[in-house]
Chains A and B, each alone.
Chain A
């Protein structure tokens, strides 16, 4: 099992395109197929990702692209490998009407900006250009501007650090206190 790759924090404004729009209650496992959810190997997963939706997906995604979801995005048992695969292709943020709590917590830990943006799933379509001010949860596409729920201070710090592990390491280095 190779480890997930290391990714820098996102720029202040994420610029890219909408790579895909998913519906409500979307189970993230389906991105790579349930039979592949035990692999963390980005190279292996690259050949599996989105095959059921768009065989050309892996070739057309560029760094900065985002995916869009409906209500309760990430419902189910949200395993980590599907987002490993999507992030490896350059997906920089997930914008959804709402998130399933387990998915939200798990991917925020990994430093992925997950922004709740009401109206997003019908306001944009696949291929649309987007500019995402992730700290303010403002999404611009064409002449449309949507306002979502800004991340909490803690979530913002996690994303800025490149994930919870890096934030914790920085906090730990600054604080030689408990629990040891």
Chain B
């Protein structure tokens, strides 16, 4: 039976010859991942130990925990949260990676997001693993089922295939693509499905761009997103892999819920209005030209990788962040930070007046430097609901790193092509 990438990955993980969309069955993830957060990991560890009586894990290497949130205040409470995590991980022998960057990126750098692998997390942005041809699925508190049984029951999802052609125009990137998709097909356009990306346009995208795109899949209603693994993905995987992997390609004749063709070269910069990423909030950046901003943020698990920092440096080179604007740049991982430093990109950003922060999730969810009431922020963060980055009275606009950098220079929402033309 012809299968999609997702059906093949889930069949392999379930240990069966094939699965078909709509079927519900227990699946064995290659890795079961979490970041520590109060009310989540501490509760799950306690349940595993106290309620289920689990004292030893048969395969602790399948578990993976990151400390990437709440790193920046240095409070006693912060330390307590992380000590609980360290203690549990040591007790069970679970690999723990602390303060190396945002887990969804560090996971890839450490070779966990390998083509054909199946990964779960309670957080939906694990879908960024799709850049490598892996399937990453955010399962909320059902992570506990996997933690205690080694398997998780899933409804095998249908797939919508996106055939990408062309290449991004200067000043346009995958953030513009995902917001274009939401605008075109709706915030539930791929509901309960997986987005499958392929075609020459997909192959033209850097790994960073693919990660940013796949990481935002949930805002189309999708449970995940996956690229057909090509030579770029395979060579990255071979470089970092600590284990064998089996890339999966879709079969000719696989059944799709829909197939859409998108010409990347036709896309323009997009900006999302405060509130949510729903289609009615998606605008061309030019439409919002002139909207004042006081804060600008480049970072997050979607958009703080080297390509995003290069984009920001391209826009900011020889220019200055506008008066009254604070631009914060947070590389997605320490490795990205080091590379950006080595390439001289951070010097360019500093010279332009940007502030560079150590990699963590803390800006994105309003823990570090929270927005004040009535502030306007333009952000590459993943979410712009009220209160996400601080005050519920602040406004968060979302755009690409190009657009955020250009807006920081102008002090108003501006596309990169407007700034670089000036």
Interface residues of A (CB under 8 A from B): 1, 25, 27, 29, 33-35, 37, 40, 71-72, 75-77, 98, 100-102, 104-106, 109, 152-154, 164-165, 168-169, 171-172, 178-180
Q: Are A35 and B392 in contact (CB under 8 A)?
A: yes
Q: Are A179 and B149 in contact (CB under 8 A)?
A: yes
**Cα-based distance from A7 to B218 in the complex (angstroms):** 30
**Cα-based distance from A27 to B39 in the complex (angstroms):** 21
CB distance from A25 to the nearest CB of B (A): 5
Say yes or no for B188: interface residue by CB 8 A criterion: yes
Say yes or no for B216: interface residue by CB 8 A criterion: no
Q: Are A180 and B56 in contact (CB under 8 A)?
A: yes
Interface of B is mostly: loop
**Cα-based distance from A37 to B365 in the complex (angstroms):** 13
Interface residues of B (CB under 8 A from A): 24, 39, 47, 51-59, 124, 138-142, 144-145, 148-150, 153, 155, 186-188, 191-192, 218, 221-223, 276, 278, 383, 385-387, 392
**A35 to chain B: which residues have CB within 8 Å?**
387, 392
**A171 to chain B: which residues have CB within 8 Å?**
149
**B53 to chain A: which residues have CB within 8 Å?**
180
**B47 to chain A: which residues have CB within 8 Å?**
165
**B52 to chain A: which residues have CB within 8 Å?**
168-169, 172
**A169 to chain B: which residues have CB within 8 Å?**
51-52
**B56 to chain A: which residues have CB within 8 Å?**
180
Q: Are A109 and B155 in contact (CB under 8 A)?
A: no
Q: Are A179 and B57 in contact (CB under 8 A)?
A: yes
CB distance from B301 to the nearest CB of A (A): 14
**B148 to chain A: which residues have CB within 8 Å?**
168, 172, 179
Can you list 9 pairs linking A and B with CB atoms under 8 Å apart? A34-B385, A34-B392, A72-B221, A101-B191, A101-B223, A105-B142, A153-B24, A164-B145, A179-B150
Q: Which 8 A-B pairs have the closest CB atoms?
A: A72-B188, A34-B387, A106-B140, A152-B24, A180-B54, A154-B153, A179-B150, A34-B386
CB distance from B375 to the nearest CB of A (A): 16
**B191 to chain A: which residues have CB within 8 Å?**
72, 98, 100-101
**Cα-based distance from A154 to B7 in the complex (angstroms):** 19
**B39 to chain A: which residues have CB within 8 Å?**
1, 40
CB distance from A77 to the nearest CB of B (A): 6
CB distance from B296 to the nearest CB of A (A): 22
**B147: nearest chain-A partner, CB-CB:** A179
| Known contacts A152-B155, A179-B59: A102-B145 contact under CB 8 Å | no
**Cα-based distance from A105 to B148 in the complex (angstroms):** 18
The listed residue (A27, A37, A102, A104) touching B276 by CB distance below 8 A is: A27
Q: Are A106 and B141 in contact (CB under 8 A)?
A: yes
**A35: nearest chain-B partner, CB-CB:** B392
**B391: nearest chain-A partner, CB-CB:** A35
| Known contacts A34-B387, A102-B124, A178-B149: A164-B392 contact under CB 8 Å | no
CB distance from A153 to the nearest CB of B (A): 7
A25, A37, A104: residue with the most chain B Cβ atoms closer than 10 Å: A25
**Cα-based distance from A178 to B58 in the complex (angstroms):** 7
Q: Are B138 and A25 in contact (CB under 8 A)?
A: no
Q: Are A180 and B386 in contact (CB under 8 A)?
A: no
**A29 to chain B: which residues have CB within 8 Å?**
385
**Cα-based distance from A100 to B221 in the complex (angstroms):** 6
**Cα-based distance from A109 to B138 in the complex (angstroms):** 13
CB distance from B7 to the nearest CB of A (A): 17
Q: Are A71 and B392 in contact (CB under 8 A)?
A: no
Q: Are B59 and A72 in contact (CB under 8 A)?
A: no
